[in-house]
Structure 1
Amino acid sequence: MIRWDREDDGIVVLTLDDPDRAANTMTAAYVRGMEETVTRLEAEREQITGVVFVSAKKSFFAGGDLDSLRTPGPDQGAASFAQAATVKAQFRRLETLGRPVVAALNGSALGGGLELALACHHRIAVDDPRLEVGFPEVTLGLLPGAGGVVRTVRMLGLVTALTQVLLRGRRHRATAARDLGLISALVPSADDLLPAAREWIRANPGATQPWDVKGFKIPGGTPSTPALATMLPAFPANLRRELKNAPYPAPRNILAAAVEGAQVDIDTAFTIENRYFVELVTGQISKNMIQAFFFDLNAANARDVGDVPPIGKVGVLGAGMMGAAIAYVCARAGLDVVLKDVSLEAAHRGLGYSQRLVAEAVQRNRLTEAAGTELLSRISPADDPAALSGADVVIEAVFEDTALKHKVFAEVEELVAPDALLCSNTSTLPITMLAEGVRRQADFVGLHFFSPVDRMPLVEVIRGARTSDETVRRALAVVRRLRKTPIVVNDSRGFFTSRVIGTFTNEAVAMLAEGVPAPSIEQASSQAGYPAPVLQLMDELTLTLPQKIRRESAAAAGDAWTPHPADAVIDHLIDAGRPGRSGGAGFYDYENGKRTHLWPGLASYAKPGVTIPFEDLKERMLFIEAIESIKCLDEGVLTSVPDANVGSILGIGYPGWTGGVLQFINQYQGGLPGFVTRARELAERYGDRFTPPRLLLEKAERGERFA
């Protein structure tokens, strides 16, 4: 795991190279190797003039071993504490070796990799825009458990460490990391790393960490420093407001470990950090988040597309909000795009969307003016279907109307490449039905983007009844080229995401019909962990959309259709001229397009004496989406558990702490049997829609999980 090479100048080069993995991580083999290495460094100290850590991998060090981090349970706290203490002790022995130690970063150092680098006296990195350093642990429900909290606070100060490094899991590019102080120096190439490290070691034979120098003071002071003492109380208040009381313990633990650790000596601070780390690593939420944001996400992104034709020219039909945004992400990915609408004026308005995003990126130094100009040059507005001649991919993004979608495909099908991929960005209309408007139905597929397209990472790939396997592979290649995460589902009205989110919004409106005050509904959705309050979300989506979907679904279902308690409320608001934000009024009032407050008229739904437990409000939303997802899995709309979990979080905002819709069921108290019991309670109180589906009952009886 760690190769030892001592040069004639006494400098030991330690090469990190896990023989069993593509990246270096903190496996048990690494811990053993580091223990042997540090012990040997101490034993041969008199013959050593310095130490350099390098990596044989593309990255320097990828961080903790998530396979092991997702296993400890509440009864393994002592073992987890001891393991973390061992790694901390190794790093502490390294930085107090009495010899200069340098980390030479040829690639990214994240999590435990950055913690190793911070335990070195000097950090040199290649000036490569792909290189990243940071602590993403908070996004996995954890905190940096190998001294990362303690060292960044002592290096950068409490405020900078918390806001720039720890609380949001930010990843910093090489130049930004150097400017911040996480990296000491940059070199042009990997070949320059070792010479620069040797030069620094020769110039700094007595190197030591700043916090080991007598009289050291934390930049900006400790929590008792008057200026900092007046500022710190805002942190927990801001954190509570940001998290909206949702169950995300990692940011709270990071804040506590940082503030408490800043008031004591470094070894005591490490113990404090350990305790807060163990609370997280033995808890369920970190396991949920590791499963979703690492294992399930990797599964969704790892699909093999095989050999597919290269993508040259893309045609986007419709230059409205979605079409304009799709054109932007295609151009951002280096593709040439024709953005077509019924008039050249409308197409140019669509181009304006990209122009605004580029101007904003240039202003924030995320893009150079030259790069922005080049990006925009790839988008060609058009009103003539002939402009799509030879296009390899067509993405339709017009209004949700079957006849209109058939019409725009008919205009271009004979003009585009003979084997062009034909994609519809519909959110609800069955792909099999839309494919009837083209001759090459095997080449027709759904590509459901999510708004705002430039920021939302998910694309739902929908296979119609006649969509070929080759077409699905090509669609996946398009999604990959756009640097987005795909999930693959089979055809159904609403597919997976639209169908499931509809149950969530309907449940909230049903609560309003039952007499629950609207502010309580909004609070319940926020505290359940949804990124936006549910009635606010409905206003953004517009109320006419679910009404239209409902009417189409009811017509398709005929006598089998079952009305929902939310229907009358939605119809009433639309009839009252409150269709949502785009219409200037909905569940909320708006002034000049800006949301102000909940519409006072909603108070008319309140019913005196209605007392629904707040926990029921939260769980009704979580449960109804999970139950609908089970139905999607049972019907074959969903084909994998990772797709369900990833799609629910990245596409429709299911709370990340749950690990996704199906992981929420797995981790519910009592597992699947516990979920079944609770679902039956909700069904008895609020309606048959909570009745546990057959697939859930069968898996619960067999003692299985969704996996």
Structure 2
Amino acid sequence: MADFTLKTGTDGVAVITWDCPGKSMNVMSFEGLAELDACIDEVLSDDSIKGAVITSGKDSFAGGMDLNILASLRDAIEGDPAKGVFEGVMRMHGILRKIERAGMDAKSHKGGKPIVAALPGTAMGIGYELPLACHRIFAAETKAKIGLPEIMVGLFPGAGGTTRLVRKLGAMAAAPYLLEGKTLAPAKAKAAGLVDEVVAPGELLAKAKDWVLNASDADLLKPWDAKGYKMPGGAPYTPAGFPTFMGAAVMVHGKTKGVYPAARALLSAVYEGALVSFDEALKIEARWFTKIVLDPTSGAMIRSLFLNKGALEKGAVRPEGVEDQRVRKVGVLGAGMMGAGIALVSAMAGIEVVLIDARQEAADKGKAYAESYMDKGISRGKATAQKKEATLALITATTDYAALEGCDLVIEAVFEDPGVKAEVTAKAEVVLGEDAIFATNTSTLPISDLAKASARPGQFIGIHFFSPVEKMNLVEIIRGRETGDRAVAKALDYVRQIRKTPIVVNDARFFYANRCILPYINEGIRMVGEGVAPWMVEHSAELLGFPVGPLQLTDEVSIDLGVKIAKATKAAMGEAYPDADVDDVVFWLADQGRMGRKAGAGFYAYDDKGKRQGIWPGLVEKFPLAEDQPELVQVQHRLMMAQVLEAVRALEEGVLTDIREGDVGAILGWGFAPWSGGPFSWLDMIGAGKAVEICDRLEAAHGPRFAAPKLLREMAEAGERFYTRFDPARAA
């Protein structure tokens, strides 16, 4: 079956329907482009056809380009991947330009046929670039999203979207949609100038056809093809436009810290393209797009944030042969911030929730958290009163464990105390049916030890949410020594229901995410104790693309929690405990009452509204700056390797069983340098040999925590890469 089909009605209007067989949402492929091209040729060559409407056979219009084809473009011309990408992109430009010109005479701009886009729902990426080439864009009044999110996966709109949107809106107005990937619902998209008409869903096709039948030659002439066209807001060489581009360059550098090449390339394509004709601008866009596609950063981001993330969300690591384990009713034990968040996301997904706490007042407060969240959504236009009512109706707040009857999943989210967790486990299992799965939400306590309190350890599993639950996309699922496949499948199916991204790891101290986060935090704190300037530590992390530095991160999660974790870890490890020098700094801060942001005092100083005011001066008074400060790259290597080596060790020890989970989990879990694609992608980017060289230097200077793992050294000697040796997708 074809992706694009054409049918002409008695009114003479051709309807070109995009409907990819077997897919929930349309994505563009080269086969699809060829079919679209043939449909356009038929419209333009058949005198009985008056014009065309391009629409979708699905509820949405399109989700974008099939990013797998970028790899095929790179390989299209042997020995010259740049040529393959450039020529492939220019073919797309040719098809969209054909739509845009629609058979008009080049000089008189007459004789063309109107071609409009009718969007029944979401239109993203090429799904919006195609409509931009049409003469009118109609969108159904739905909750769909319209925009160009390519920048979020290390690309920028390369099928004319960059050039057309800037010429349509002006550089300043187009910036949020190009540089930030902002998307809008249809009504707001119309107000912003992204679409031309918003109509009732049932009238979409009729309104689009009516426009086709009544369009004039003037309606078909794009502004940028008209004589005397001037860019809205001013071109870069004009007095009005120059400040816009200067400001954009500063904004891009401020936000990307120089490590996201797609944003810089996009700005270059816009600036250079504005100096030439529209067709020359498309070539410039294609050249910059080719450069980004071939950049290893782009490839790593696409692989981790699109391909691997999508595979995990679709069940790539789900145990085979286990029937559907979708959750019908979930019990949440503990109505604190974490439990309240779990209850909220579960109810928002349509799951019945029983929220239990020791006191009714606390249980009610947990439910009130959902009410407050929904109220904020309503005030921002992101929720409705009906949605709020339906969500709250699904949550039962109580102290009675008998209410757990009928729950097929229970998630315990009480204090990080093994005794308390054991008590609530036993209470819940008395009520639960024999098939119910019990999950513990913990960030540090070993799952296999907690499972000892369960009468059915095969149905006991760890589900580690990140805080705040409603905002964080990652969920870490931890398989204990006795955890069975059905429990894993239940956890994965539940995470999919609440629309988050799961990774599955085996039980070990700190699991995977915290195992890597803590060394990052500790290395930053350790450097402060050594006399490295705290601001250098923080800025080094920011220049690596981390959302926050290790000191700010410690303030955010709280210093007293760090003290608690340190004491528990030291008690468990005894003489092998490696972080006494870190404790010197953290414990001293705690003794000063500086418990982090929640206390308005930590590594940073805060004003009375909780706003950071810079590094607290008392920190360098207690830990004076060393006379010789390290170079930036030395600090960055310490911060980077502290995390990356733990990821390798987790793989080496079998805690991680899939490097895709290691990369996706790192980016979504703690913001590991998204431009890198994750720790394993970064190691592949620099090469195992280079990584071992860095390790050897760091080990000589700072000790055995930087020793290269045996696996990494073996790979360096063999010249191997992680995504050659371990990628399950490649093996399949």
Whether TM-score is above 0.5 comes out as yes
Once the two structures are superposed, residues 601-638 of structure 1 have per-residue CA deviations (whole angstroms, 9 ceiling, x without a partner) of: 22132343323120121222222211101111111111
Q: Does 1:76 align with 2:89?
A: no
Which of 204, 207, 212 is the matching residue for 1:196?
Answer: 207
Contact 2:333/2:414 (<8 A) preserved: yes
Question: What residue in structure 1 maps to residue 224 of structure 2?
Answer: 211
Contact 2:43/2:51 (<8 A) preserved: no
Greater Cα shift, 522-531 or 381-390: 381-390
Question: What residue in structure 2 maps to residue 113 of structure 1?
Answer: 127
Q: Size of the alignment, in residue pairs? A: 700
Aligned partner letter, 1:648:
A
What are the within-5 Å matches in structure 2 for residues 55-94 of structure 1? 55-56=56-57, 59-70=60-71, 72=74, 76-94=81-99
Cα–Cα, structure 1 residues 570 and 104, in superposed 2: closer, same or farther, change >3 Å?
Answer: same
Greater Cα shift, 295-304 or 641-650: 295-304
Question: What residue in structure 1 maps to residue 151 of structure 2?
Answer: 138
Aligned partner letter, 2:701:
R
Contact 1:49/1:205 (<8 A) preserved: no
Which of 628, 636, 648 is the matching residue for 1:610?
Answer: 628
Aligned partner letter, 1:117:
P
Contact 2:528/2:534 (<8 A) preserved: yes
How far, CA to CA, are the matches of 1:46 and 1:210 in structure 2? 26
How far, CA to CA, are the matches of 2:502 and 2:632 in structure 1? 35
Contact 1:496/1:632 (<8 A) preserved: yes
Greater Cα shift, 141-150 or 558-567: 558-567
Q: Does 1:478 align with 2:478?
A: no
Greater Cα shift, 425-434 or 176-185: 176-185
How far, CA to CA, are the matches of 2:363 and 2:6 in structure 1? 62
Question: What residue in structure 1 maps to residue 665 of structure 2?
Answer: 647
Aligned partner letter, 2:564:
K
How far, CA to CA, are the matches of 1:234 and 1:50 in structure 2? 42
Cα–Cα, structure 1 residues 81 and 546, in superposed 2: closer, same or farther, change >3 Å?
Answer: same
Q: Does 1:631 align with 2:649?
A: yes
TM-score by length of 2: 0.89
Contact 2:171/2:244 (<8 A) preserved: no
Partner of 1:529, secondary structure, is coil
Cα–Cα, structure 1 residues 59 and 352, in superposed 2: closer, same or farther, change >3 Å?
Answer: closer
How far, CA to CA, are the matches of 2:698 and 2:48 in structure 1? 71
What are the within-5 Å matches in structure 2 for residues 27-38 of structure 1? 27-38=29-40
Q: Does 1:354 align with 2:365?
A: no
Cα–Cα, structure 1 residues 39 and 359, in superposed 2: closer, same or farther, change >3 Å?
Answer: closer
Cα–Cα, structure 1 residues 389 and 7, in superposed 2: closer, same or farther, change >3 Å?
Answer: closer
Partner of 1:501, secondary structure, is helix
Cα–Cα, structure 1 residues 404 and 608, in superposed 2: closer, same or farther, change >3 Å?
Answer: same
What are the within-5 Å matches in structure 2 for residues 327-366 of structure 1? 327-366=343-382
How far, CA to CA, are the matches of 1:80 and 1:380 in structure 2? 55
Structure 1 runs not aligned, ≥5 long: none
Partner of 1:366, secondary structure, is coil
Partner of 1:429, secondary structure, is coil
How far, CA to CA, are the matches of 2:95 and 2:191 in structure 1? 28
Q: CA deviation at 1:54?
A: 3.3
Once the two structures are superposed, residues 41-61 of structure 1 have per-residue CA deviations (whole angstroms, 9 ceiling, x without a partner) of: 55x265542123234556433
Once the two structures are superposed, residues 106-135 of structure 1 have per-residue CA deviations (whole angstroms, 9 ceiling, x without a partner) of: 443221221111111122333332x33211
Cα–Cα, structure 1 residues 316 and 608, in superposed 2: closer, same or farther, change >3 Å?
Answer: same
Contact 1:246/1:526 (<8 A) preserved: no
Partner of 1:104, secondary structure, is strand
Q: CA deviation at 1:153?
A: 1.6
How far, CA to CA, are the matches of 1:84 and 1:310 in structure 2? 42
How far, CA to CA, are the matches of 1:3 and 1:308 in structure 2? 35
Question: What residue in structure 1 maps to residue 435 of structure 2?
Answer: 419
Partner of 2:431, secondary structure, is coil
How far, CA to CA, are the matches of 1:54 and 1:352 in structure 2? 43
Once the two structures are superposed, residues 260-304 of structure 1 have per-residue CA deviations (whole angstroms, 9 ceiling, x without a partner) of: 433443223223322322221121111010011111101211215
Question: What residue in structure 2 maps to residue 175 of structure 1?
Answer: 187
How far, CA to CA, are the matches of 2:152 and 2:424 in structure 1? 42
Cα–Cα, structure 1 residues 695 and 28, in superposed 2: closer, same or farther, change >3 Å?
Answer: same
Partner of 1:566, secondary structure, is helix
Q: CA deviation at 1:451?
A: 0.8
Q: CA deviation at 1:654?
A: 0.6
Greater Cα shift, 432-441 or 14-23: 14-23
Q: CA deviation at 1:193?
A: 4.5
Contact 2:538/2:550 (<8 A) preserved: yes
Q: CA deviation at 1:486?
A: 0.8
How far, CA to CA, are the matches of 1:172 and 1:386 in structure 2? 45
Partner of 1:493, secondary structure, is coil
What are the within-5 Å matches in structure 2 for residues 675-694 of structure 1? 675-694=691-710
How far, CA to CA, are the matches of 2:285 and 2:580 in structure 1? 50
Once the two structures are superposed, residues 374-412 of structure 1 have per-residue CA deviations (whole angstroms, 9 ceiling, x without a partner) of: 322333332343443443322111221111111222233
Once the two structures are superposed, residues 536-557 of structure 1 have per-residue CA deviations (whole angstroms, 9 ceiling, x without a partner) of: 1011112233333333233333
What percentage of aligned pairs have identical amino acids? 39
Cα–Cα, structure 1 residues 26 and 392, in superposed 2: closer, same or farther, change >3 Å?
Answer: closer
Question: What residue in structure 1 maps to residue 386 of structure 2?
Answer: 370
Contact 2:530/2:626 (<8 A) preserved: no
Structure 2 runs not aligned, ≥5 long: 103-111, 728-732
How far, CA to CA, are the matches of 1:556 and 1:424 in structure 2? 21
Question: What residue in structure 1 maps to residue 16 of structure 2?
Answer: 14
Aligned partner letter, 2:82:
G
What are the within-5 Å matches in structure 2 for residues 203-602 of structure 1? 203-206=214-217, 207-208=219-220, 209-223=222-236, 226=239, 228-243=241-256, 245-303=257-315, 304=318, 306-308=322-324, 310-563=326-579, 565-592=581-608, 593-602=610-619
Once the two structures are superposed, residues 153-203 of structure 1 have per-residue CA deviations (whole angstroms, 9 ceiling, x without a partner) of: 22222222112x2111123233333333323334444x7544333221111
Partner of 1:359, secondary structure, is helix
How far, CA to CA, are the matches of 2:259 and 2:653 in structure 1? 32
Partner of 1:486, secondary structure, is strand
How far, CA to CA, are the matches of 2:410 and 2:60 in structure 1? 37
How far, CA to CA, are the matches of 2:344 and 2:33 in structure 1? 46
Aligned partner letter, 1:651:
G
Question: What residue in structure 2 maps to residue 54 of structure 1?
Answer: 55
Contact 2:70/2:85 (<8 A) preserved: no
How far, CA to CA, are the matches of 1:381 and 1:616 in structure 2? 52
Contact 2:437/2:459 (<8 A) preserved: yes
Q: CA deviation at 1:237?
A: 2.4
Contact 2:330/2:352 (<8 A) preserved: yes
Which of 165, 170, 178 is the matching residue for 1:152?
Answer: 165
Cα–Cα, structure 1 residues 15 and 309, in superposed 2: closer, same or farther, change >3 Å?
Answer: closer
Aligned partner letter, 2:208:
A
Cα–Cα, structure 1 residues 498 and 227, in superposed 2: closer, same or farther, change >3 Å?
Answer: same
How far, CA to CA, are the matches of 1:606 and 1:447 in structure 2? 42
Contact 1:502/1:546 (<8 A) preserved: no
Q: CA deviation at 1:318?
A: 1.7
Cα–Cα, structure 1 residues 484 and 185, in superposed 2: closer, same or farther, change >3 Å?
Answer: same
